[in-house]
Amino acid sequence: MKYGIIGYSGRMGQSIEKIFSQAGHELVYQKDENGEKELEKPELIIDFSLKEAFPETVRVIKEKEIPLIIGTTGLDEGDFKQLNQLAEKVAVIQSFNFSIGINILSELVTKIDKYIDQDWDIEISETHHRFKKDKPSGTAIMLSELIDRDIEMHSKRLGSEFGEHEVYFASTGEVLTLKHRAYSREAFTKGVLLSAEKILDLKPGFYSFKDILTN
Ligand code: NAD
């Protein structure tokens, strides 16, 4: 497939290009904070950039009318409204975490939440590399939104950690911990590749990565 990346020069953009070229896909459009370069019209756009780039991403998708895969974190309610508007015309796959492990972990969180009452404490801890700008991580926010109460979140920014999330459930007698750790960016880029290989067959609409994994 012929694809484009917004956030091309970033850590995720570079990892995505590597795994996509190994799979035989052709990068024909690239955009970052220094400008854009288009060799041919892409069949889809992948956005792993920053929230600041989002208005431009919306413009590009409206102009080209092609599907979008977006993993950029820090998006707010207004941004999601715009993603939903785009999804009326094209397929949009959005996730704050494209790893298979975190998507399994989120299923487990929902399941555990059914067994416990208000007497249990629930807290989330996340650690990422020192360059990550948003805090708490989009994944920690996504996990907290699965549970219908205020959750305390703890964030650490350390060295080159790719992404670690822990969810603690504790009563006065016991503690249960779910933990996920990404060893490399491949944890996410494999999920992006899987999404890209499915998106061209999808009807316009808003999809999560979980929809892609389970269908
Ligand atoms: P990075 O800082 O290394 O790269 C950011 C990229 O965005 C750069 O190429 C930069 O030039 C570009 N950019 C910045 N401002 C821009 C603008 N106004 N217009 C166009 N491009 C612009 O960041 P990263 O580590 O590659 O992460 C990128 C995003 O992906 C972050 O939001 C991060 O939280 C998110 N992320 C998501 C997942 C997931 O699974 N959903 C996994 C890892 C990272």
Check if the beta carbon of residue 157 is closer than 8 Å to that of residue 129.
Answer: yes
The CATH number corresponding to 2-98+186-214 among 1.10.10.60, 3.40.50.300, 3.40.50.720, 3.40.50.170 equals: 3.40.50.720
Task: Kindly report the protein residue whose alpha carbon is nearest to atom 16 of ligand 1.
Answer: 33
Give yes or no for residue 48 CB within 6 A of ligand 1.
Answer: yes
Give yes or no for residue 162 CB within 6 A of ligand 1.
Answer: no
In percent, the amount of the chain with pLDDT more than 70 equals 100
Give yes or no for residue 189 CB within 6 A of ligand 1.
Answer: no
139 annotated to a ligand binding site: yes
List pLDDT tens digits, range 33-75. Answer: 999 999 999 999 999 999 999 999 999 999 999 999 999 999 9
The Å distance, Cα 168 to ligand 1 centre, comes to 29
Q: Determine if the peptide bond prior to 136 is cis (ω within 30°).
A: yes
Q: Give the pLDDT of residue 75.
A: 95
HSE, CB side, 13 Å, CA atoms: give it for residue 52.
5
Q: Give the pLDDT of residue 99.
A: 97
What would you measure as the largest C-alpha separation in the chain, in angstroms? Answer: 62
Check if the beta carbon of residue 45 is closer than 8 Å to that of residue 62.
Answer: no
The Å distance, Cα 117 to ligand 1 centre, comes to 38
Delimit the domains of the chain by residue range.
Answer: 2-98+186-214, 100-183
72 annotated to a ligand binding site: yes
Question: Is 128 in the active site?
Answer: yes
Question: What's the predicted TM-score (pTM) here?
Answer: 0.94
List pLDDT tens digits, range 184-211. Answer: 999 999 999 999 999 999 999 999 999 9
Question: Is 154 in the active site?
Answer: no
Give yes or no for residue 73 CB within 6 A of ligand 1.
Answer: yes
35 annotated to a ligand binding site: no
Given pLDDT bands bounded at 50, 70 and 90, which one contains residue 215?
A: confident
Predicted-assembly ipTM surpassing the 0.90 threshold: yes
User: Can you tell me which residue has the tokens 């944890």?
Assistant: 187
- What would the mean pLDDT of 95-122 be, rounded to a whole number? 96
What is the dotted CATH code of the domain comprising 100-183? 3.30.360.10
- Beta strands per DSSP E along 48-201: 68-70, 91-94, 121-128, 152-157, 164-170, 175-181
Contacts of 188 (CB under 8 A, 6+ apart): 12, 15, 71, 97, 98, 99, 182
Q: Give the pLDDT of residue 209.
A: 96
Opening angle at CA 99, ends 133 and 69, nearest 5: 75
Active-site choice (2, 132, 135, 210): 132
